[in-house]
Structure 1
């Protein structure tokens, strides 16, 4: 189960994610079902209206795991962009990736791991966000 954050996102990412979670290979995944619910209730805005402190697709995020007290830097990507050899990427269809989507700097995010354990993180910094960089139609 992913975080219950209200989702604000740009219209391009919203349309791409809706299409993605409708694909047969993803549609039955619990994380895709939870993400679908968040997409249904999301506030969809133009790319230039996305706040610079919000995690959007292809954002590079610095966050801290509150349980293990470890700091990570990851880029939030679509599953088809995930490089299996890269350790600095996370798929939006991974529970952690879905939890990061729509979080803002300073916000705590809580979600349940597939094992049933609770997990928590805090977003420390957005190192790169496409919208803030002017990449509005990537």
Structure 2
């Protein structure tokens, strides 16, 4: 009997996560550096890394949220849609929609594909469901970004 993949009842399945090998080391270093300042967030990032399928940057699907790719998502509780771009902490600028990977929403979105939904806990401890609607890779022609 294979007991490696068990999902606690009532929590639902977590969506698949895919990350590029070129970012793996940086994500691990950021998580380890954040352990003292924000252990819960660091643990979440390490958990996502641990369950992720790691692929070469060239094989990262265009519809997967990654550093530098614009993502539009919907908060299923409020119906509000928002577009953000996950970036490394030093490039974050909330006024321009550039969110750090070291934020709860950054950790929640990274590696998800279009149409994936996930449970997300806000900073206020409120549980929400987010759905990834669209991902645009800056290096892909607009017509190919959704393929």
Q: Decide: shared fold, TM above 0.5.
A: yes
Q: Does 1:15 align with 2:25?
A: yes
The answer to whether the 8 Å contact 1:74/1:88 transfers is yes
Aligned to 2:100: 91
Determine which structure has greater relative contact order: mean sequence separation of CA pairs < 8 Å that are 6+ residues apart, divided by chain length.
Answer: 1
Q: Which runs of 5+ in 2 are unaligned?
A: 1-12, 142-147
The secondary structure found in structure 2 opposite 1:109 is: strand
Q: Does the 8 Å contact 2:116/2:132 carry over to 1?
A: yes
- Tell me which moved more, 91-100 or 121-130: 121-130
**Aligned residues of 1:82 and 1:90 also touching (Cα < 8 A):** yes
Question: Normalised by the size of structure 2, how large is the TM-score?
Answer: 0.77
Q: Which runs of 4+ in 1 moved over 4 A?
A: none
Residue in 2 aligned with 1:42?
Answer: 52
Q: Which of the residues 36, 60, 77 maps onto 2:87?
A: 77
Match of residue 119, structure 2, among 66, 86, 110: 110
**Length-normalised TM-score, structure 1:** 0.82
- Look up the match of 1:136: none
Gaps of 5+ in 1: 134-138
RMSD between aligned residues: 1.9
Q: What's the CA shift for 1:88?
A: 1.1
1:11–1:47 Cα contact (<8 Å) kept: yes
Q: Quick one: distance in 2 between partners of 1:36 and 1:128?
A: 24
Secondary structure of 1:119's partner?
A: strand
